[in-house]
Structure 1
Amino acid sequence: MAEKRDIIRLRKRFALRFGVDEPVRMAFTEDISPEGLFIKTTNICPPGTKIKIILTISNDQILHLEGRVMWAKKVPPQMIHIVKKCGMGVRITRFINGEEIYQNLCNELMAR
């Protein structure tokens, strides 16, 4: 199936925590874009859910943001390394801190 979006997604793995009330679940990004990110996890939230995210770019760059789950695909934990897309596509709705750092990172990755 062909990609329907015009958004350029950049393959990048960052550690993060996410959750509805508090960001307590650990996961990783698989790709990012200026508008959102894909969280690889078996602990999905239903589409439409608002989540809080703490994204660790480096030891001294920790970003806090909020997003909305746009789609989710759940697979059993033992299949996470086999299935291509297991997790959630999240649209960023608000940066609490670090918006400039995130946008600069996306621009740097696109320039490569």
Structure 2
Amino acid sequence: MAEKRDITRHRKRLTLRFGTVTPTRLAYTEDVSANGLFIKTTNLCPPGTRIQIELTLPGEDSVFLEGMVRWTKKVPPQMIHLMKKSGMGIMITKFIAGEQAYRSFIDELHAR
């Protein structure tokens, strides 16, 4: 199936925490873009859920943001490392802190 989005996505593994009220669940990104990210996890939230995310950029900069779950793909926990996509696609809806650090990080990925 062909990619329908025209936004450049970069494969990047970053540590993050997420949750519906406070970011407490540990996970990783699979890819990132200027408008969203993919969280690799077996702890899924239903599409439409607003979640809080604390993302750790290289260099230990932290970014706090709010996102909305756009889609999910559920995979059994023992299979998560074998599947290409297992987790949640997130659309960034609001930056709480660290927006400039995140934008600079994405710009740096575009320049490579």
TM-score bracket, normalised by the shorter chain, equals over 0.9
Q: Structure 1: state its 5+ residue gaps.
A: none
Mapping of residues 6-85 of structure 1, within 5 Å: 6-58=6-58, 60-85=60-85
TM superposition score normalised by structure 2: 0.97
SS, match of residue 54 in structure 2: strand
Amino acid at match of 1:8: T
Aligned-residue CA RMSD in angstroms? Answer: 0.9
Deviations 1:69-112 (A, max 9, x none): 00000111000011110000000001011111101110100110
Deviations 1:2-39 (A, max 9, x none): 11111110111110000001111000001000000000
Give 1:60 deviation, angstroms.
3.7
Alignment length (residue pairs): 112
Amino acid at match of 2:34: P
Amino acid at match of 1:46: P
Give 1:59 deviation, angstroms.
5.3
Give the Cα–Cα distance (whole angstroms) in 2 for the partners of residues 39 and 60 of structure 1.
Answer: 19
Give the Cα–Cα distance (whole angstroms) in 1 for the partners of residues 29 and 60 of structure 2.
Answer: 18
Q: Structure 2: state its 5+ residue gaps.
A: none
TM superposition score normalised by structure 1: 0.97
